[in-house]
């Protein structure tokens, strides 16, 4: 059961047995609708009372903490997004109290890699912008073909905008954009996938 009040700085998440498993895994739920930002990653070990992330509700940021249960994070809601809209009762994090961090990371990292395939990742942390100004066209759209040096986005770091271009040792010479994985204005961390690609 959710505890705390909406004007509190933090709330304890509700939990329930995961529906699609043997019910030993636990789903941690959103206590209210809002924009969720995770503070944990797949494979992390969460202890009771630790911060899972933050929920923005009507301009107020509320820390969400784990209930009196711990375990390894085996699934996150839309892990490729820095912020995601959630409704009341939405599953934010799935924990496995039996799993170690290494076990959870190995299983879910492999699944995530297979699901996303070839991706272009953020070289640094910052705020993602897909265009140079609100009235300007976007740098890339689904179906675009990227070549080395093509502008992918701008990342705002400490009030300074850095142009991010396509290229890298693990990327093909040419690639086609299959999916945009980050919304405009989202905060990303270094290594977060920004674009799902396929060889052109």
- Measure the CA–CA gap between 141 and 143, rounded to whole angstroms: 6
The length of the chain in residues reads 200
pLDDT at 44: 79
Q: What is the dihedral of CA 39, 44, 50, 56, to 10 degrees?
A: 20
What is the pLDDT, as a whole number, of residue 7?
Answer: 41
Whole-number pLDDT of residue 110? 42
State the DSSP H helix or E strand holding residue 74, giving kind and residue range, or none if neither. strand 71-76
- pTM to 2 decimals? 0.46
Residue 196: predicted pLDDT: 92
Strands 60-65 and 14-17 come out as unpaired
What are the angstrom distances between the C-alpha of 169 and each of 92, 98, 99, 143, 173? 34, 38, 34, 22, 9
Consecutive 10-residue averages of pLDDT for the chain (200 residues):
46 75 75 87 80 85 82 76 84 77 42 62 91 93 95 92 90 93 88 89
Which pLDDT value is given to residue 19?
Answer: 67
Do 79 and 38 contact (CB within 8 A), yes or no?
yes
Domains contained in the chain, CATH given: 10-116 (2.40.50.100), 119-199 (2.40.50.100)
Q: What pLDDT is stored for residue 80 in this prediction?
A: 64
């Amino acid at each position: 059961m959710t505890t705390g009040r909406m004007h509190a700085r933090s709330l304890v998440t509700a939990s329930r047995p995961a529906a699609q498993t043997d019910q030993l895994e636990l789903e941690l739920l959103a206590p209210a609708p809002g924009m969720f930002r995770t503070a944990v990653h797949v494979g992390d070990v969460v202890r009771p009372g630790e911060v899972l992330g933050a929920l923005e509700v009507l301009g107020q940021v509320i820390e969400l903490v784990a209930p009196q249960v711990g375990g390894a994070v085996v699934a996150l809601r839309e892990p490729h997004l820095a912020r995601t809209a959630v409704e009341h009762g939405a599953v934010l994090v799935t924990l496995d109290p039996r799993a170690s961090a290494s076990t959870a990371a190995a299983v879910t990292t492999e699944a995530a890699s297979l699901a996303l395939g070839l991706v272009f990742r953020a070289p640094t942390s910052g705020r993602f912008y897909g265009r140079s100004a609100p009235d300007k066209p976007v740098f890339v759209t689904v179906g675009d073909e990227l070549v080395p040096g093509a502008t992918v986005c701008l990342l705002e770091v400490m009030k300074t905008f850095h142009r991010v271009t396509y290229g890298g040792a693990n990327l093909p010479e040419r690639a086609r954009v299959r999916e945009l994985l980050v919304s405009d204005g989202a905060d990303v961390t270094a290594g977060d996938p920004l674009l799902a690609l396929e060889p052109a």
